Amino acid sequence: MMLITKGGRRRIKDIIGDELNMRDLKDEIIDIICDKELEHGDLELSCVIENNKFVLHGDDELMLMWEQLRPG
């Protein structure tokens, strides 16, 4: 599950880790926040694990994040 926030609005999105890649994830986020003028390069994806923020730059980092967060 992923929490997406924009301007105080929050949306929750279920994700399937085995099908995760940065391009598709950014497409889904752009669709969810309803900002069609937003480009992939405009998004910074990050996660917080054990009170540490990690910025995700590519598929490799995205998969490392998923390894840390995926359910049992």
- pLDDT tier, 16 (very low <50, low <70, confident <90, very high otherwise): low
CB distance 48 to 68 below 8 Å: no
**Residue 27 phi, psi dihedral angles, 5° rounding:** -60, -45
Domain borders along the chain are 2-69
22 pLDDT more than 70: yes
CB distance 20 to 63 below 8 Å: yes
Look up the pTM and report it.
Answer: 0.62
Cα 29 from Cα 52, distance rounded (Å): 22
- The pLDDT tens digits of the residues spanning 24-58 come to 888 888 887 777 787 877 788 888 888 988 888 88
